[in-house]
Amino acid sequence: MLNQLFQNRHLILASGSPRRKSILKDLGLEFEIRIKEVDESYPTSLKGKEISEYLAKLKASPFAEELQKNEILITADTIVWLEGQALGKPKNKEEASQMLRSLSNKTHEVISSIALTTTHQQIIISDNTKVTFKKLSDKEINYYIDHFKPFDKAGAYGIQEWMGYIGIQRIEGSYFNVVGLPVQKLYEALHEL
């Protein structure tokens, strides 16, 4: 359905995330993947969705000079927000273990932002989902890290993996937002374009 809307447009996904790629494919969209390295540092004064929105825009900036009139660039960022702190991607096993322990038996927020960029406009959309974990044992945390290597995931977990199956007691909001792409909001924004 969306492909018919975008017959004369070329979609570019600027993400190496297999989950985002899969979601766009499942929407029936044809797209190209173009990735440019970006330093994902952000001002420490930013909080919550200000961080993910800033990073989604930042990821679009290297494409500014090369976008063509018929192209739509999709960039995205997801953060885990716990007790006033952003949890990014863990650098090693110790950091992943520390993050999962901090999430254990608590509710946190997963915030995803998408920037849809063309030569003449940029639309930013964000979504927020509350996720509650059960009390995780050290054995469960170590098993997950050793077997699933969650170093490419904000907060050191994927809801669609083993940790999501056994650890999450409740979510309030979009499941796909926690996966990393608030697909319903993306669908609506693409219609608006």
Active site residues: 77
Of the candidates 24, 42, 41, the one whose C-alpha atom is nearest the C-alpha of residue 33 is: 24
CB 125 within 8 A of CB 132: no
Nearest-Å Rg of the Cα atoms of the chain is: 17
Euclidean distance between CA atoms 138 and 153, whole angstroms: 19
Please give the helix or strand (H or E) that residue 177 lies within, else none.
helix 175-179
Supply 96's token pair.
């992943």
Contact status, residue 43 vs residue 62, Cβ threshold 8 Å: no
Find out whether 43 and 54 touch, Cβ atoms under 8 Å.
Answer: yes
Distance CA 13, CA 41 (A): 21
What are 97's strand-pairing partners?
none
Other C-beta atoms lying within 10 Å of the C-beta of residue 28: 10
